Amino acid sequence: MTPGYRKVDSSVMNKMNKIQVLSIIHNKKIISRADIGKITGLTPPTVSRIVKQLIKQDGLVKYVGVGDSNGGRPPVMVTFNGNENYVIEIDLGATLIRGVLSDLNNDIQMEIQVPTSLEKGYESIMDRLANVIERLLNKRGLNKDKVLGIGIGIAGLVNIKKGMVDFSPDFGWESVNIRNSLNQRINLPFFFDNSTRLMALGELNYGLGRNYGNFVVINIGYGIASGIVIDGKTVFGAQGKAGEFGHIIVDTNSNIQCKCGAYGCLEALASGRRIADLGKELFERKKSQKLMELCKNDPNLIDAKLVFEAARSGDKDANEMLETVTNYLGIGIASLANLLDPEVIFMGGGVSSNGEIFFKSLRKATQNFLISRNKKLDIKPVTFADYATLTGAFSLVVNKIIQFESLR
């Protein structure tokens, strides 16, 4: 044996080959065994054996007939068996728990959403999450054995290695062991990550992000966070905490305290929660007549969406307030762009769903703080809107399936 090399165990080699073959079939949609051999360099008998395993043992591939012949035997065609296998995706948000049952082609079969009910505490939220999963599994006609895994997006600092959420200002959690909690409630393989990093993963694998190697997804809703993609890979950082964009300080003189404990955080000054609070302040000061009309004189009904609606109608006070908010966002986004040099910034979350009135103001504000060579920075909506985190959770599980880390 050549010095410096060691023999690879045959079972390890077989798994590596299966991963390679399955990845090709998944990416190509439909392909012949002969073409798989050409791409991988594997011999025809090896390709044939692996494809049979993927069909008969794993159920992840199926035959779809024969292709056109070029003079010899017609090629045998295979495809990824997406419509006979399923995954569950969960978007665990501070307001709602959204659950989706999809086949492996990402076609939604069933969707459920329930209030998170933060006030009832951690254990209650875990029970509600497990209940959503159980309801999806009980879909009429579903073969539960064909559900291969669960992907979960969670807002907060997720320590994947330890299975912990180290800190989540939105939920008020600190050092909660998600893995143990879910192991007690779920009998399927499950995987979880920060919800905004999952948004970036879904954008990278299935959205417009496929066209870029370097981009950032910014999630502006109840809180603010980012998912970073560099050279085609999501960035985790040393402890899995990369992307906490909402907790950069954009105003050192601010007296507004963030849920993280600091003052002047971007999240404290520009999140959907902050926009709603500012809208209520307008109401109390009897500013923004339009906002008062829209909420029917009940300030409890004021949220970010209503504030944007007032601004869209031309209300001066609502527009001035939103300009202040987008100015803070512009400072943060420009700083991120100047640091990372992304090709594009994708915006997601409830605040970004307010359309052109939001994007026009945001682009204008961001331009004020970009260095000259970054002035052409493109800012656009995420591909999957309200389903961005769910698409990322789907992508997370499918990646695990292809790596054979999620089979029962």
Whole-Å CA distances, 33 to 84, 359, 404: 21, 47, 20
What are the pLDDT digits (tens) for 75-133? 889 999 999 999 999 999 988 999 999 999 999 999 999 999 999 999 999 999 999 99
In the structure, what pLDDT confidence band is assigned to residue 408 with cuts at 50, 70 and 90?
low
CATH number corresponding to 10-80: 1.10.10.10
List the chain domain ranges.
Answer: 10-80, 85-201+388-402, 209-382
Take residue 325 and report the two structure tokens written for it.
């908010």
In the structure, what pLDDT confidence band is assigned to residue 71 with cuts at 50, 70 and 90?
low
Cα radius of gyration (the chain): 24
**Cβ neighbours of residue 109 under 8 Å, at least 6 residues apart?**
86, 101, 102, 103, 139, 142
pLDDT of res. 372: 75
In the structure, what pLDDT confidence band is assigned to residue 235 with cuts at 50, 70 and 90?
very high
CA atoms of 283 and 261, how far apart (whole Å): 27
CA atoms of 334 and 377, how far apart (whole Å): 9
pLDDT of res. 170: 85
**Cβ neighbours of residue 61 under 8 Å, at least 6 residues apart?**
22, 25, 51, 54, 55, 78, 79, 80, 81
% of the chain beyond a pLDDT of 70: 96
User: Which 3 state secondary structure label does DSSP give 113?
Assistant: strand
pLDDT of res. 91: 97
Residue 369 has pLDDT above 80, yes or no: yes
What are the pLDDT digits (tens) for 164-214? 999 998 898 999 999 999 999 999 999 999 999 999 999 999 999 999 999
pTM for the structure as a whole: 0.91
Residue 366 has pLDDT above 90, yes or no: yes
pLDDT of res. 12: 86
What are the pLDDT digits (tens) for 300-356? 999 999 999 999 999 999 999 999 999 999 999 999 999 999 999 999 999 999 989
- Which architecture does CATH list for 209-382? 2-Layer Sandwich (3.30)
CATH number corresponding to 85-201+388-402: 3.30.420.40
Poorest-confidence range of 67-76, 100-109, 361-370, 385-394? 67-76
Residue 147 carries which DSSP code? Answer: E
pLDDT of res. 383: 97
Residue 263 has pLDDT above 90, yes or no: yes
CA atoms of 288 and 282, how far apart (whole Å): 6
Residue 273 has pLDDT above 80, yes or no: yes
In the structure, what pLDDT confidence band is assigned to residue 11 with cuts at 50, 70 and 90?
confident
Poorest-confidence range of 134-138, 370-374, 390-394? 370-374
